[in-house]
Amino acid sequence: DAMVIQNPRYQVTQFGKPVTLSCSQTLNHNVMYWYQQKSSQAPKLLFHYYDKDFNNEADTPDNFQSRRPNTSFCFLDIRSPGLGDAAMYLCATSKPTGPFNQPQHFGDGTRLSIL
């Protein structure tokens, strides 16, 4: 089945140790998003790619970076994770027809813990 796959489901890293989260999709969607969701909160958009064009949200910390080497894959890099970065990270995709009004398809998420 076509889907959005995130690996790993659970990631533990040490304070300050760089970590990379992975997302892949078989939907061939142009747009890929990364969200951060802390406990009992709504998802918060960090950034997105429209094809190869990177779009950062104004309040996304510099500590968070992203790479999209091809249509299928997108990575979230946290350069120096702090305790406040512990959260669920959700990847989503969409195929724009008109002004981005298509529903976003989400992966299962990666739950990141910081020791």
Burial (CB < 10 A; 0-12, 13-18, 19+), residue 95, is middle
Taking CB under 8 A as the binding criterion, the range among 19-27, 61-69, 76-84, 105-113 that sits at the site for another protein is 105-113
Taking CB under 8 A as the binding criterion, the range among 15-23, 64-72, 75-83, 87-95 that sits at the site for another protein is 87-95
CA angle, 103 as apex, 110 and 4 as ends, to 5°?
A: 35
Q: Copy the structure tokens of residue 90.
A: 């959700």
Q: How far is the CB of 31 from another protein (least distance, A)?
A: 6
Interacting residue with another protein among 42, 58, 62, 70 (CB under 8 A): 42
Q: Could you list the residues that contact another protein (CB under 8 A)?
A: 31, 33, 40-43, 45, 48, 55, 57, 88, 90, 92, 94, 96, 99-109, 111
